[in-house]
Every structure is written in C-alpha cells, then in structure tokens.
Amino acid sequence: MVKRVATEEHIGGALNNELETPKPFEHLARHAHLTPSAIALATEHRDFTYQQLLRQVKGIAGVLRDAGVQAGDIVVSQVKTDLHLAMMQALFHEAVIGCGYPSQVDVDNPVGFDWFVSHQYSPTFPAEKTIIIDDSFMLDVTTSPREIDHRTYDDFSSLCRLRFSSGTTGSPIAIPFTVGHLEGHTRTVDEQWMSLRPVMSLMTIQNGLGFTCAYSNMRNGDKYIAPGSAAKNLSQIKRNYVAAVIGSPTQLSELVNEAKKTGARLDDLVRLISAGSYLPLQLVDRIMTISGATILNSYGSTETGMVAWQDTLSRDATDVGEILGNVEVQIVDEDDRLVPPGETGFIRWRCEFMAQSYFRDAKDHVGGLRNGWFYSGDLGSVSVDNHLHLAGRMSEMINAGGVKIDPSKVDAAIQASGLVHDVCTFAYQRNEGLVGFGVAIVPSPGFDLGTLKTLIAQECRNVKPHAIVEVNSIARNQAGKVLRAEMAKKLRSHLDQATTHAPPGP
C-alpha cells in the first residue's frame, strides 16, 4: 500500500532520467529522430510514421501560433478522431493547457476557455476565439514550412491537461493534471493495463483512458491505434495484431456484435479490459465465444486512474477486484472514521500521481478530491484477501416508498437476464411530488414484459417501477457510464404512465 502521495518535487526528481525538462512534446520529437520510419499512428485510412506525424504536428502548431494562441492558454479541441493525436501533440508543442470538453463550449463556462478548435463554430463561444479545422486550415498545415521552436512549460508542476469528471450527476468538472502527474501516471499504467502491447483503447483521446493510452504510446515510441466504429475497431484490431483492448462495456458489446455478424474471431487478443461501468456477466459469456483472451473488469476514476481490477471468471458482481499495489483504500463512516474490517462504509483512496484538486470551481464541488483523498461516492468494503466489494453508489440510491434501491444492481440483474440489450434504472420526480422509480430498456428479440417485471420485483424487494419505457438507446458518457439524470429528463413526458412505451429517442 502507498505510504505517501508524491509531491511535485518528488515527481520531477523521479522522472528526470525520462524527461529531463518539462517538455511532453519531446517524446514525439525524440522518436521521430531515432526511429523516423516507425509507425506512430494507425488510422482507418492510412498510417503515419513518426517523421510524418511530427511534420503534421509542427504544421498545426504553427497555425495555432499564427492565430494568437499563447503558452498557458486553455485550448479546448473538438476535432475528428483521426486528428486527435496530432492535435494533442500540437498543444504540447505550444505549451498550452489542452482539453476535450464533453459538452457545448460556452463562453461563460467555469473553466475559462481561451480558444476553441473545431470543425464548426459553437453558438455560445466567440467566433474570434474559434479556430476552424477546414480545407484551408489543412492546406496551411501541409504546405507552409514550419521550423518554429516548441514552447516550454515552466516546470513539472505546470498544468498541461484538463480532464473532466464523468458528469453522471451534473455538469462535467475540470480536473487539472501537471506535466509531472501525467508522466508519473503514465509510468504507472505502463506496468498495469498497458503492459501488453500493442494495446488499443476503444475510448478516444478526449476520454481520460484514451488520452493516457495515446500519451504512453508516444512516450514509449509505440503505435497509437485510432478507434472508431465497431467495424473499424474490429478491422484495426485484426490489422495491427492488437494484444490488449480497453473499452466501456457498451463498446465491447458492439465489438462482439460486429465480430459475430462478420464471423470473425479475436484469437490474437490476450487481454480485454472493461472500464467505466459494470460489466454484465452475460457480456462476458458472449466475449468468450469469439476470444480466449483474459477478461478483466476495472474500477477507478478520472481523478486517480485504476484502483482495482478483477478477472471476470470470479462471477461475483459485487467484487471489483484486488486493490492495485500503488493504491491505498480505506472504508470510512460519515465522519471519516475508519470502520471495522469487512464492514460497509464510504470508499476513499489515494495513490501516487493522482490529481489533488479540481480546477477553479473546486470550492463549489461537493465530495471527490479533498484532504489528499478521493471520495468515490460509492459504498463498499474490503475483504481479507484485499478485494474491494461495492455495495452501491450513495448519490444514486433511490428511495422508493422507504425502500432503498441501488440502480446499478438492478441494471446488472436485468443485463444478465438477456431480456435487454441495454438498461438504465433511475429516479425521477412524479407529478404528485413523490420520488418515482423508472427503468428504461433497449429490449432484446423475444423480450417479455411480464418476466422483466418479475425480475425487477425480486431485485427491489417487491417494489414495482412506476414506469418501464422502451428506448432506442441509453444515454452514456464517453467512459460508458449511464447518465441517469439525463435519461430521466429526456423521458419526462413518458414517465407517469405505467405501460411500456417506445418513444423515438433518446
């Protein structure tokens, strides 16, 4: 277990042999010099060598600089997937604070964006601070010579990236990462889920795990494999002989569906890692029909990275796995006092290279990072074999007529039944002011409403849902987590009816 959380001085000192000065861009530059013809980026349309990627990055950085972007500016980018890696590196080249905002970019947002780089304008952000990626932009990138020197972050404590919390309970919250934390965190994951290569993240660079995957590949001189649709991902996995894949349960399910549709197998895969939300055992069984890879279910947060992972052969839905060696987990009560071993309480943890606070609006954010710990909002316990067991998420618990319902457990039971492709259990405000209990489903062929109602009653101590609504898809964030409040909002007009409906969305 971790004895202390690394300070900025410790981070800088520990990494001096790997990055002597705080210049994340130099990873790309170094490999472009040492192995210029090695593949740096594999997209659906073409591969880029390190030398070609460096040339493109220099071109983008030059256009950004010509537009007025300064070192230390906060630049949010929303570009096509094939440009994610080049844009990430161009932002490092200019020593800015880069991010990919998972919502509409607004001039009044609490983050304080200085620039917006995108393929189209945002109606709520100044046009004069927007840089449009169009044919003219790309022509300038490819035809104008760019021999400019890259800018430098001041030190290892300089901010270089903002990531955003899941947004499952409200607006996304910005989480700042320094050069030192980014370097240290990447070194840690190289020993964990990125220890097998090539590794492909089905989550894009806009997502925290996708960004970590890309940065690790640049740091180690490996190939970053750009994700896309399920069909494209399947092709990329086969073409690049991918050894390990990480993705949300939804992305993994789509991959399995595509493989079954085309008759493909994933026999080259050694490891499949599910991240972001609960991995249904039914999906585990389906994965095993197309691949002999080890299937792992991970647990963690954007603020800290992975905390535990579990081999899904255990079949225990509450067990999220053995706590990783670089993480210290504690179970506490409402007053932050340790509870007796094996008892349920609030889960908190800390580890090296975790974020220490939220960005600018930290004082308005309840929970999460405080006093050197991350408070997950989950209830759970630690077993004698150092496995972390979840008992529900406190902020999502539904009080239905005095009965506490854990929506994640209900979702897991329904998923495992095979009755649905996807599901979201949520609370909502009923017309009479009482708390309602709703279930949105994407039904499977042969779906039976009576069987579903019986199953829900068994899981909820005979409490019946006030509404069961058929939908075409379940709202999820970039990490695959269910957006329960958003589903309740979108389905508001259907929720006071007890029968099953099939509205056009969401």
Q: Which domains does the chain have, with CATH numbers?
A: 8-228 (3.40.50.980), 321-393 (2.30.38.10), 397-494 (3.30.300.30)
Instruction: Please name the amino acid found at residue 348.
Output: R
pLDDT of residue 366: 53
- Position 478 scores a pLDDT of 64
Task: Give residue-wise pLDDT tens across range 72-84.
Answer: 999 999 999 999 9
- What separation in angstroms does the CA of 49 have from each of 11, 36, 38, 294? 31, 6, 5, 31
Give residue-wise pLDDT tens across range 341-372: 889 999 999 999 999 889 985 554 555 888 89
pLDDT at 124: 93
User: What is the structure's pLDDT at 47?
Assistant: 97
**Alpha-carbon torsion (280, 385, 208, 231), positive or negative:** negative
What pLDDT, on the 0 to 100 scale, is given for residue 106?
86
Structure tokens at 320: 């999220």
Burial label, 118 (beta-carbon count in 10 A; 0-12, 13-18, 19+): middle
In sequence order, the β-bridge partners of residue 390 are 380
Distance CA 407, CA 321 (A): 21
Region of residue 446 (phi > 0: left; psi between -120 and 50: alpha; otherwise: beta): left
Residue 108 carries which DSSP code?
T
Q: Where are the beta strands (DSSP E) in 6-102?
A: 39-42, 47-49, 74-78, 97-99
Sign for the CA dihedral angle at 10, 212, 153, 147 comes to positive
Cα 22 to Cα 4, 18, 150, 275, 354, distances in angstroms? 23, 10, 12, 30, 18
Low-confidence ranges of the chain (pLDDT < 70): 1-19, 145, 166-171, 312-315, 317, 361-367, 392-395, 401-402, 431-434, 478-479, 496-506
